[in-house]
Amino acid sequence: MKKNSPVSRSGRFARGPGTDVAQFTESISFDHRLWAHDITGSLAHAAMLRKIGVLAKTEAATISKGLKAIAREIETGKFKWKHELEDVHMNIEAALTRRVPAGAKLHTARSRNDQVALDLRLWLRDEIVILLGEIASLQRVLVSLGEKYSAVIIPGYTHLQRAQPVYFAHHLLAYVEMLERDCERLWDGWSRVNVCPLGSGAIAGSTLKLDRVLVAKLLGFVDAQGRPQLTQNSMDAVSDRDFAVEFCAAGALLAMHLSRLAEDVILWASAEFNFIKIADAYTTGSSLMPQKKNPDVAELTRGKTGRVYGNLMSLLTLLKGLPMTYNRDLQEDKERLFDTADTVRACVRLMSAMLLHTEVNKPACLAAASDPALLATDLADYLVQKGMSFRKAHHVVGAVVALAERAGKPLNALSLAELRSVDQTFGRDALATFDLKRAMARRNLTGAPGTKEVAKQLARWREQLS
């Protein structure tokens, strides 16, 4: 930085840093994206400085006009970012002071330490709201897909072995539930992001009589009742980033859920399962094997989960050894935070789009779901209803399964006599257990994949998401 640069931090330095140091310490290459929030914060700060008499009326007006003009230039790509001005805060302030001499008063009782904490909070607040909207869209796509294929039944799996039949919609709604908890976590974190740190100065506030409440209100840092939310300790306010960690943690959980959904989609799209067909636009071919159609969107969603976890670990590690209060290390928070926000948003958006263009192969699902072994547990329940203990019923049906295996036939092809050769409790109605439709109609506990219950859950989600 030049000695008499309009935003030089003090007269203390005979010269600025060398190019290598400047390159090493700059953040403008990535924090420029905070520009809109930086300007919003400065406008509120200027309005407050005017109210407490630090800025004259005309000074406040020219500063605000100048900041808005800079905003327009940045928006239209005309603004020249200067790397030698280190970061977004100094770039904007320098540009302002060049045009408006009163700009030199804008930084009164403000430090980049509380300014950057403010910008990050303002930025993240918006980001969370946008992400919540994207997640709701994905939930709606899952519900629509479930409704469109509401009669489709597939095997449910444990250990990736066929377990019991479930409605395809039930499987999808499991993800709607997970995503709902992700939304709750993000909203919960939002309330801790939504606290105004401005007025904390570099570390110890200011001797000037700032109106922190006014700034908080101007910037929308209020709770549901409209009460202003202010940080209560200046040292905490400039140095903690737990709100960013929380977001990255909620993002990591979200990414994990998306990754599991992606994994299911990948399996279902394989020739082995063949349950779904993803539209060509969301797949890619192989450069070598002409027949290939690869589920890259789902694979990358699964793959990107790694970096989202990594961002969380980076932030936690970044913070753990910092002595109070602000340390330059904190500049390293941004890229990790931005990357989590960008990555999970893109994954949610692309998974939505892909699922919107996915079709279900009904015959293949029906064939898989018609495996009578999926209803072996129902056969044990049948015996329980006849008065047998479940432990014994489990054993008896195990013997029936072994018998069918030896006979080389599916369970439902056994005769009543064969069933009775294992246990006399089996009656004429035993074989009706293997009627899939009937079996699905019987699973109507809350949360179970029964016909009525799944319809009820679909309707509930449809209503909740509308």
107 is catalytic: no
Distance CA 360, CA 152 (A): 9
- Of the pair 326, 461, the CB lying nearest ligand ARG is at 326
Minimum CB separation of residue 31 from ligand ARG in Å reads 6
Q: What are phi and psi of 314, to 5 degrees?
A: -60, -45
Of 40, 48, 63, 87, the one binding ligand ARG (CB under 6 A) is 87
Q: Calculate the alpha carbon distances from 423 to 374, 391, 417, 426 in Å.
A: 20, 14, 10, 6
DSSP letter string, 91-103:
HHHHHHHHH-GGG
Residues 98-127 touching ligand ARG, rule: CB under 6 A, are 112-113, 116
3-state secondary structure (DSSP) of residue 282: helix
Of 166, 308, 330, 404, the one binding ligand ARG (CB under 6 A) is 330
Q: Which of 203, 37, 195 is nearest to 112 (CA)?
A: 203
* Catalytic residue chosen out of the listed positions 10, 159, 287, 466: 159
Distance CA 159, CA 307 (A): 27
Of 1, 27, 123, 201, the one binding ligand ARG (CB under 6 A) is 27
Convert residues 46-85 into a mask of x (bound to ligand ARG by CB under 6 A) and - (unbound). Answer: ----------------------------------------
Minimum CB separation of residue 323 from ligand ARG in Å reads 14
- Of the pair 120, 218, the CB lying nearest ligand ARG is at 120
Torsion from C-alpha of 320, 332, 2, 66, nearest 10 degrees: -110
Of 200, 331, 340, 451, the one binding ligand ARG (CB under 6 A) is 331
429, 385 in Cβ contact below 8 A?
no
DSSP letter string, 106-142:
TTTT--HHHHHHHHHHHHHHHHHHHHHHHHHHHHHHH
Minimum CB separation of residue 242 from ligand ARG in Å reads 16
286 is catalytic: yes
According to DSSP, the residues that pair with 327 across neighbouring strands are: none
Give burial (CB, 10 Å; 0-12/13-18/19+) of 186.
Answer: buried
* Catalytic residue chosen out of the listed positions 29, 270, 286, 389: 286
Q: What angle do CA 157, 369, 417 make, to 5 degrees?
A: 105
- Of the pair 113, 139, the CB lying nearest ligand ARG is at 113
Minimum CB separation of residue 118 from ligand ARG in Å reads 11
Which token pair is 198? 């401005």
- Of the pair 30, 273, the CB lying nearest ligand ARG is at 30
Convert residues 289-328 into a mask of x (bound to ligand ARG by CB under 6 A) and - (unbound). Answer: -------------------------------------x-x
Which residues contribute to the site for ligand ARG (CB under 6 A)?
Answer: 27, 31, 87, 112-113, 116, 326, 328, 330-331
Catalytic sites, residue numbers: 159, 286
